A and B are shown apart, each in its own frame.
Chain A
Amino acid sequence: MDIQALWLTARLALVSTLILMVIAVPLAWGLSRWQGAGKALVQAVIALPLVLPPTVLGFYLLIAFSPNNAFGQTWQALFGTPLAFTFEALVIGSVLYSLPFAVQPLHAGFCQLQPALLDTARMLKLPGVARWRYIVLPAIAPHALIAAGLSFAHTIGEFGVVLMIGGNIPGETRVASIALFDHVEALDYTQAHQLAAVLLIISLAMLAMLYWRQGKGGMQWRVM
């Protein structure tokens, strides 16, 4: 069994999801409040990974990560190592690749938040922290759960981007989907079957859990 590849995949999905949630919450909040002219363009950029072949994203990232380019150079100057073909490169790629899966559910949640609730809270002199704690967070909690779940599951399912920017270094960039591809190329169907089944079951279980929670009419999140 490819325990190493599975563990790497899980680590990548977890780190990417955490970073995504930190980025996506303020991004989705800002988007839901913003009525400016450029909103559609920003939304389109965020949604691009949904329709773009992953290899296109991977290709541009590979170019950006190259030590010949500003981003790659800055990285190397800061951390002393090149960025391409490292775990960090995969994390950056995954965050971009799964961004719409994190932003869109949260954006929907923020849009559904009744403005009257926040107006009322402001009028009743609740400070910003209290408004978030007692009103905003409970309201978006079910959406945040979906955002995190989808980000995690989508990162597990990543292949094209990883192939372009990660290569195939065991323990560093050889995630489960790449390992599966290797097994098939080497005609090792036994190993391929095992890995494919594990990925299938994990993804199915995660999605089933998400939909089950959603079906329960959203989450009751007690905060006091």
Chain B
Amino acid sequence: MACHVSCQRGDFTLSARLTLGPDIDWLGVVGASGAGKTSLLRCLAGLESAAQVEGFASWAHPAGDNIVLVSAQTPLFPALSVEENLQVVARYNGVTDESFKSVVDDCECRHLLAKAVTALSAGETQRVALARGLLANPSILLMDESTSAMDTKLRTRVLHKLKRRTQGVCKVVWVSHDWQDIARYSDEVAVLRQGKVTIQDMPANALSQAEASEPVSALQGCLLQGPIVEHEDEFTVFAVGENKVVTRAVEQGEKNASLLVDARQVLVSRTPLAPAQIGYVNRLPVKVKSLDTDSETGVQRLTLNCGNQTLFALLEAPAARHLAIQSGEAVYAYFGAGSLPEPARA
């Protein structure tokens, strides 16, 4: 099923084609800032009068026009308390007390109910806005960075509960700058560039293709993704081809696991080092697909293939000279399992 969205605003043209099959429940949207992510979601939500949207509402089952957008800036009604914000929406959407409670609990808002909306932090405001959006019983929920101000643990809990809650009830199109989240929860990812969808694919494929076309200086990393093989105490092991990759523990019940690999923290070596010889958890045999060098800094980007998955590594200029890796060569890539604390967010 193809959905086409077009909108002309000033000198920006959005003309995006999305493929929305019945097997896609969560569609992630990524792209550089200014690529049109927010415009796309506003068009889908019917908030842009100049927009033309075809074949979107029929994605939901049953097809409905109950499309709700929750964005990072969605305002709460300032004259009402948190509880009133939620209750007024629940009342006009015929929400039962029971489902009201479960929405409030899923979004972890119970302790906020009595507060004034002006007393909430950004992350709390986002949780209430999300809960309020769910109380409108959407058949399609659009989320534009709607969890961006929540800390990692909270965000993981909320997204996990949201994923479970929407199953079979509500389709989701969402924009997030957090690739780990996008990879973990999306069935497919659409990459938006200058108002057009350039790639739509499984998360790992879409994200590595998107990264490969970025300039070397903008490279962040890529995603490995695969079926879960086993659970260890605090870690989960998943398969990439015939190899195993260790990642942070994922919630029980998930079938697939993923790992965001920061290109700056991938070590490349010609010799296979044993776990007792190197302080990295993961080792993958890879083939060098291509090399690019940033003209300004001399930093070399290696595009590495492991089966059908892609990994990137960055080498500083002297290291690149010493190693002198050739395209097509077989090397080993070493990287962590993503369980280190994140650097504090600005």
Contacts and interface: CB of A to CB of B under 8 A. Distances in A.
Interface residues of B, number: 24
Q: How big is the A interface, by class? A: 20 to 34
A224 to B, nearest CB: 5
Contact of A135 (B46, B74, B77, B132): B77
Contacts of A116: 73-75
Q: Which are the 3 A-B pairs with shortest beta-carbon distances?
A: A138-B79, A124-B136, A124-B89
A120 interface: yes
B66 to A, nearest CB: 8
B75 A120 contact: yes
Interface centre among A134, A222, A223, by most chain B C-beta atoms within 10 angstroms, is A134
A123 interface: yes
A127 B89 CA distance: 10
Interface in B100-150: 132-133, 135-136
A134 B77 contact: yes
Interface of B: 45-47, 66-69, 73-75, 77-81, 84, 88-89, 92-93, 132-133, 135-136
Interface in A189-224: 221-224
A135 to B, nearest CB: 6
Interface in A127-164: 127, 130, 134-135, 138-139
Interface in A66-97: none
A45 B78 CA distance: 34
Given A124-B136, A125-B92, A130-B92, A119 B79 contact: no
B93 A124 contact: yes
A91 B100 CA distance: 52
A50 interface: no
B132 A117 contact: no
Contacts of A123: 45-47, 67-69, 136
A124 B79 contact: no
Given A116-B74, A224-B84, A127 B92 contact: yes
A43 interface: no
Contact of A124 (B68, B73, B80, B81): B68
A117 B74 CA distance: 8
A216 B78 CA distance: 17
B91 to A, nearest CB: 9
A130 B88 contact: yes
A124 B88 CA distance: 10
A81 to B, nearest CB: 46
A114 B79 contact: no
A126 B75 contact: no
B28 to A, nearest CB: 22
A223 B47 CA distance: 28
Nearest to A120: B74
A26 B342 CA distance: 53
Contacts of B136: 123-125
A119 B45 CA distance: 10
A120 B89 CA distance: 11
A47 interface: no
Nearest to B90: A124
Nearest to B94: A125
A134 B79 contact: yes
Contacts of A221: 79
A121 B69 CA distance: 11
Nearest to A114: B75
15 contacts: A114-B75, A117-B78, A121-B77, A124-B92, A124-B93, A124-B132, A125-B89, A125-B136, A127-B92, A130-B92, A134-B80, A135-B77, A135-B79, A139-B79, A224-B81
Interface centre among A117, A119, A123, A139, by most chain B C-beta atoms within 10 angstroms, is A123
Given A120-B74, A124-B132, 11 more contacts: A116-B73, A116-B75, A117-B75, A123-B46, A124-B93, A125-B92, A134-B84, A139-B78, A139-B79, A224-B80, A224-B88
A117 B77 CA distance: 7
A121 B78 CA distance: 12
Contacts of B74: 116, 120
Contacts of A126: 88-89, 92
A123 to B, nearest CB: 6
Contacts of A127: 92
A5 to B, nearest CB: 41
Contacts of A114: 75
A218 to B, nearest CB: 11
A114 B74 CA distance: 11
B203 to A, nearest CB: 28
Contacts of B79: 134-135, 138-139, 221-223
Nearest to B83: A224
Nearest to B142: A123
Contacts of A130: 88, 92
Nearest to B116: A220
Contacts of A125: 66, 89, 92-93, 136
Contacts of B92: 124-127, 130
Contacts of B73: 116
Given A130-B88, A130-B92, A224-B80, A124 B133 contact: yes
A121 B79 CA distance: 13
